[in-house]
């Protein structure tokens, strides 16, 4: 089934799938063992328009649509979620605010190099004491002449330890909850900006994640995204809506990887004199997994199309994130159960998808937050 994909979408899927198998798959084991992202992938993908596939060609992107980006994300996650996470942060969180709201100077200096993979970006919103309630961030940016002085700490930042720049959310007017937030581009090497530590995680090990500290960090006024103080919360919301749709593809890719591995294992594993795939219990689990994946992919594409059409999809984007992330947990549980004891062994890849996928109900808006968003949109 091609899910109503255009010819361009189908060609792109084959191209990115081939790239992922040839260029990314051989790097997975070392990246996972060392907890180090293979940085050469940024430039390799950028050169072919794979890194940021939905930005215009004139900026170095692939010139595709939101579905194109979803295809890229799905295929990367089929190979490895950690590597995919770093590349997803680049194609979305670390670039969309600049693309949508940045100045021409910012686009030239940061966006175009990021799209080409020449600069690595990160997005700093979450803090040690602030997660789901983003309006409660404590990081502040105080105007001093032509600069803003930033003080605060950001936590769980993907690409933080390796970024060339990070988009930082900070209050320029703390008296205006949410409304008084702005986004600032802070470059690596700026005095007062440090990576205080690299974080060790249960899964997504090949994505480098860190805690970032800003102490009297002076950032030029021209590095603020937007022309006036305030408005950053709207920019964040716009970015997160797009990211929630993308997460549907992330969950679908991880689910597809789990299904493929489990079918292969069930065909090879023999019990009571025959492959376990011949048992009805195994077949029922696999058919349910396949059904769930089909629905996940179909709904993700549907909402991606609505997004491309400029429709208001705050509710639908939250539904994508909620449904696919929660459904994936069942897919991974079934896959692990079919693998039995071998699934719990580190040498079997299914355990990695199981560990990686557990994050998806938490990051970029928990399932609980998605339910709140959906409820509000429904008028409940």
pLDDT tens digits for 181-238?
Answer: 999 999 999 999 999 999 999 999 999 999 999 999 999 999 999 999 999 999 999 9
Q: Is the pLDDT of residue 2 over 80?
A: no
pTM: 0.94
> Tell me: the pLDDT tens digits for 258-290?
999 999 999 999 999 999 999 999 999 999 999
Q: How much is the mean pLDDT over the chain?
A: 96
**Percent of residues, the chain, with pLDDT higher than 70:** 100
Q: Where in the chain is the domain with CATH 1.10.540.10?
A: 7-115
Q: Is the pLDDT of residue 112 over 90?
A: yes
Provide the pLDDT for residue 343.
96
**CA end-to-end span of the chain, whole Å?**
37
Is 29 assigned a catalytic role? no
**Percent of residues, the chain, with pLDDT higher than 90:** 97
Q: 7-115 adopts what CATH topology?
A: Butyryl-Coa Dehydrogenase, subunit A; domain 1 (1.10.540)
Task: Considering the candidates 316, 364, 368, 377, report the single residue annotated as catalytic.
Answer: 364
Q: Where in the chain is the domain with CATH 2.40.110.10?
A: 121-230
Give the Cα separation of 322 and 329 in Å (integer): 11
The H or E element containing residue 210 is: strand 209-220
Give the Cα separation of 174 and 338 in Å (integer): 52
Average pLDDT over residues 131-149: 95
Structural domain 121-230, CATH architecture? Beta Barrel (2.40)
- Burial degree of 34 (CB within 10 A; 0-12, 13-18, 19+): exposed
All residues at 6 or more sequence positions from 161 whose CB lies less than 8 Å from its CB, including other chains: 195, 198, 208, 209, 210
**Residue 197: beta bridge partners?**
211
Q: Where in the chain is the domain with CATH 1.20.140.10?
A: 233-377
Provide the pLDDT for residue 194.
98
Check whether domain 233-377 has CATH 1.20.140.10, yes or no: yes
Give the Cα separation of 296 and 300 in Å (integer): 6
Closest Cα to residue 23, out of 4, 3, 51? 51
Closest Cα to residue 363, out of 243, 252, 270? 243
SS (H, E, C) 132-145: CCHHHCCCEEEEEC
Q: Is the pLDDT of residue 360 over 90?
A: yes
Q: How confident is the model at residue 164 (pLDDT cuts 50, 70, 90)?
A: very high
């Amino acid at each position: 089934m091609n899910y109503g994909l255009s010819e361009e979408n189908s060609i792109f899927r084959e191209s990115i799938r081939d790239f992922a198998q040839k260029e990314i798959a051989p790097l997975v084991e070392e990246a996972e063992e060392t907890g180090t992202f293979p940085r050469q992938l940024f430039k390799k993908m950028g050169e072919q328009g794979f890194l940021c596939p939905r930005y215009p060609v004139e900026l170095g992107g692939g010139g595709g649509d939101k579905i194109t980006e979803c295809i890229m994300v799905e295929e990367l996650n089929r190979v490895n979620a950690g590597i995919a996470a770093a590349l997803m942060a680049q194609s979305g969180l670390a670039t969309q605010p600049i693309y949508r709201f940045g100045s021409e100077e910012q686009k030239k200096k940061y966006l175009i190099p990021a799209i080409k993979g020449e600069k690595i970006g990160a997005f700093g919103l979450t803090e040690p004491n602030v997660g789901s309630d983003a309006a409660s961030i404590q990081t502040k940016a105080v105007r001093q002449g032509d600069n803003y002085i930033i003080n605060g700490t950001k936590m769980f930042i993907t690409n933080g330890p390796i970024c060339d720049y990070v988009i930082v959310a900070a209050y320029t007017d703390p008296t205006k909850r949410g409304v008084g937030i702005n986004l600032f581009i802070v470059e690596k090497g700026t005095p007062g900006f440090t990576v205080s530590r690299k974080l060790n995680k249960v899964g997504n090990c090949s994505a480098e994640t860190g805690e970032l500290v800003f102490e009297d960090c002076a950032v030029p006024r021209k590095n603020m995204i937007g022309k006036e103080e305030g408005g950053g919360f709207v920019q964040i919301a716009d970015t997160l809506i797009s990211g929630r749709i993308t997460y549907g593809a992330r969950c679908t890719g991880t689910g597809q990887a789990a299904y493929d591995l489990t079918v292969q294992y069930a065909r090879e594993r023999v019990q009571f004199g025959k492959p376990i795939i011949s048992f009805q219990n195994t077949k029922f689990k696999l058919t349910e997994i396949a059904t769930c994946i089909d629905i996940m992919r179909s709904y993700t594409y549907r909402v991606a199309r609505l997004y491309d059409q400029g429709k208001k999809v705050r509710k639908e984007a939250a539904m994508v994130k909620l449904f696919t992330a929660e459904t994936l947990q069942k897919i991974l549980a079934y896959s692990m159960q079919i693998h039995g004891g071998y699934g719990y062994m580190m040498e079997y890849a299914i355990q990695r998808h199981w560990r990686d996928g557990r994050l998806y109900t938490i990051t970029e808006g928990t399932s609980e937050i998605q339910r709140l968003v959906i409820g509000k949109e429904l008028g409940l």
